Structure formats: structure tokens, C-alpha cells
Structure 1
């Protein structure tokens, strides 16, 4: 019995040692695998970070290059602009468009009397007698110096022309007109004036009168405007 007990004890010890060795080897293998996996993941993360930094650097370089190209194009565009011609000011554009729109109704800015619609007697009732009357072209002109407005009237006293000499018109330059309103019907050139004429509709013409451009003043300011009814200038109310 003692021999049998010793034999069983030996078998138990041998089995225990074998199990211990197996468990130890398994733990070591798992640890090595985890370490290898972690190293692989770290290497991948480092690679991704490096790629991100490189992309960021490339993007920054691309943006800088684009900005430099835009700046270069802008400078080239400014260089190509015709010398001696300024851009049309926003005030000039607004005023020209307003003048053109009113002329379709026989009106000029800041004047209540309408070409073709009113007669001179209606003007004198509100504004008094004109400062003077001039005779020119197809009729006579009633001059209101303080109002800076002249009325052309035919023999029937009908207004066929309203001219405005307001100071604010001088912000309009000769080169502004065609850029804003397009090509005119005609430009009548005299020794002292350039008259830019637009046929705004079947009834009215808009005339913008400038001093004649010179070598020293190639882009003069507007002198006055005229809203004109050609049919009524023929004195068809004279009887």
C-alpha cells in the first residue's frame, strides 16, 4: 500500500508540473502576441499621423500658391486698365439711371413741370416770371436762374424742352455716360460742345451736353441735360 501511495504521488507531481509548464508557455505566447499587435498598431498610427501632416503641409502650400496667383492676376488686371479713365462712380451711375428713367416721362430731376404736358403759364403761377427769355432754335426759352432750369416753349406756350443746370449733375463725367447707359443714338459735336442724344421712347429724347473734350481735359464734367419733345418743337399748337 505504501508503494502504491508513492507511485500515485509521483504520477500526481509529474502531471502537476506538466500542467504548470503548459500554462506558463500559453501566457508567454499571449503576452508576445499582444506586444506584437500593439507595436503594429502604433506603427500604423504613426504612419497615419505622418500622412496627415504631409497633407496639411501640401494644402498650406497649395493655398499659398493660389493666393499668390490671384494677387498676380489682380495686379495684371490693374495694369491692363486704360490710363486716364477712372471707374464710373456709384453716384454717377445712380444719377444717370435716374435721369434716364425720368426722361421717359418728360421729366428732369428736382423739377415738377413736365415737357409736353405743362405750359409756361403754369410755371409762372408757381415760380413767378422768368428772369429772362432767350430766343434760340425753334422757340424761346424762359430762364429761371435761381432754379437752374430753362423751359423751351413754342408759340402755343407749350413746353417742348426742359433743361436742368443743377450743380449735382457735374459728378457725371463724359466717359461715364456710354458705360452706364449704352451706346447713344447720336453724338452731335460742335466747336464748343458734345451733345450725347438718346431716343428714350417715341415721344422724348434725352440730351446730355458736355464741354468739348480737350487735350488738357479729355473727360469733362456734364454741363446740363435736356428732355426734349421733337414733335412739340414744331409749333403744332400755334394754330
Structure 2
């Protein structure tokens, strides 16, 4: 009887050890599965973030939300005759000679351009170009701000709908919208191609059409 009890005791201990080992293995597998689930979730989150973030030439990042906000700022500024990051408005009171006194000598000045109805003055450091008529009044302001480089043609159409004005000229695609009663908003892109179907914005401008009218010569000026 004592021998039988000893064997039974050994079997009980062995069974207990097997149970502990099996339980431990199960816990380890559960932890592995949980870890894999967390890793997959993190991977999916990272991928989503990558899809919603683009990188510009300067290395900074811009999300789709940022771009939508930027487009909204562009439109709101245009309603006042302004471009982003510039306090000067295109209207009868803004004069190129006053700007030159405040900003200094321009980097480049283009003399009269008949089709544009004016002269163009470039301030490279400010990423701004001013269009002025024969009297020096500012009728157009162009912005080449670095923030614009992440905005695509499809984003502009998504934000503002079907363009009221759309032309292709000089390898460029230009789309336009009415910002306010007095102002037009024009976006200038490289012309779409097979290799670049959704080009990124080169620059945009706010146009004050009334400033291009020349009553003396009977010139009705520009609409866009």
C-alpha cells in the first residue's frame, strides 16, 4: 500500500506540473497575440498618418486639415483684396511708389505688359509680386508663399467647386473664382500631364478688375 501511495503521489505531482506548463504556454500565446494586435493597430495608425501628411521641399509637414485651413484663409484674405502674409490690399489707395518707399527697391520690375494691363514688381524675399496700372495703383497681388506648394489642383476644386474661369496657357492651368464683388481669385498650376495629373500650386493672385480699367482710352480692362 505504501508503494502504491508513493507512485500515486508521483503521478499527482507530474500531472500538476503538466497543468502548470500548459497554462503558462497558453498565457504566453495570449500575450503574443495581444502584442501582435497592438503592433498591427499601431502600424495601421502610422499608415493613416502617413496618408494624411505630405512633405514639402523645405522638409516641414502639412496635413490635409492644414491645407483646407490655408485655402479658407486664402479666400477670406482675397475678399479684402489681400494675399496671405501681406497687409497690402489691391485697390485705388495702394500705390506701387508708396510700397517702394516702405519695402525698398524691388528685385525685378517688368515694364508695361499689354495683355496683363500693367507693370509687375517683384519682391523675392517676401514672395510677392505687385501688378500696377499706369497711375501706379495696385490692381493685382501674386503670392509665391512656400505654404502653397502642398496644395493640388484637386484640393482647390474640392474646396471651392467648379471654377468660374479655367484656361490653359503657356504650359499653365489657371482656375479662377469670385472672392467678393470687387475681387477675383486666380490659382496658377503647371498644366496637367500624364505624369502629373494633379499638379501642385505654383502661385495664386488676387485681382482687382476695376484697377485695370482705363476710361480715357476706352479700355474696359480685365475681368480675370
TM-score by length of 2: 0.64
Match of 1:118 in 2: 94
Confirm or deny: 8 A CA contact 1:193 1:210 kept in the other structure.
yes
Cα deviation 1:111-130 (Å, max 9, x = unaligned)? 12110131112211211011
Closer, same or farther in 2 for the Cα pair 1:119/1:171, shift >3 Å? same
**Counterparts in 2 of 1:13-52, with a 5 A limit?**
none
**Counterparts in 2 of 1:205-220, with a 5 A limit?**
205-220=184-199
More strand by share: 2
Q: Distance between the aligned counterparts of 2:159 and 2:88, measured in 1?
A: 26
More helix by share: 1
More moved, 117-126 vs 167-176: 117-126
When the two structures are aligned, how many residues end up with a matched partner? Answer: 151
Closer, same or farther in 2 for the Cα pair 1:216/1:118, shift >3 Å? same
Match of 1:179 in 2: 158
Asked if 1:134 is matched to 2:110, the reply is yes
1:226 shift after superposition: 0.5
Match of 2:84 in 1: 109
1:161 shift after superposition: 0.3
- Candidates 177, 182, 205, aligned match of 1:198: 177
Q: Distance between the aligned counterparts of 1:223 and 1:160, measured in 2?
A: 20
5+ unaligned residues in a row in structure 2: which ranges? 1-62, 218-224
Q: Distance between the aligned counterparts of 1:235 and 1:98, measured in 2?
A: 31
- Candidates 127, 131, 140, aligned match of 1:161: 140
Cα deviation 1:145-171 (Å, max 9, x = unaligned)? 111100000011100000011111111
Match of 1:97 in 2: 72
Closer, same or farther in 2 for the Cα pair 1:169/1:237, shift >3 Å? farther
1:180 shift after superposition: 1.0
Cα deviation 1:97-140 (Å, max 9, x = unaligned)? 11011101000000121101311122112110111211332110
1:235 shift after superposition: 3.9
Q: Distance between the aligned counterparts of 1:237 and 1:171, measured in 2?
A: 43
1:191 shift after superposition: 4.1
Cα deviation 1:46-93 (Å, max 9, x = unaligned)? xxxxxxxxxxxxxxxxxxxxxxxxxxxxxxxxxxxxxxxxxx811111
TM-score by length of 1: 0.60
Q: Distance between the aligned counterparts of 1:171 and 1:236, measured in 2?
A: 41
Larger Rg: 1
Q: Secondary structure at the match of 2:100?
A: helix
Match of 2:208 in 1: 229
Q: Distance between the aligned counterparts of 1:237 and 1:165, measured in 2?
A: 33
Match of 1:189 in 2: 168
What is the CA RMSD across the aligned residues, in angstroms? 1.7
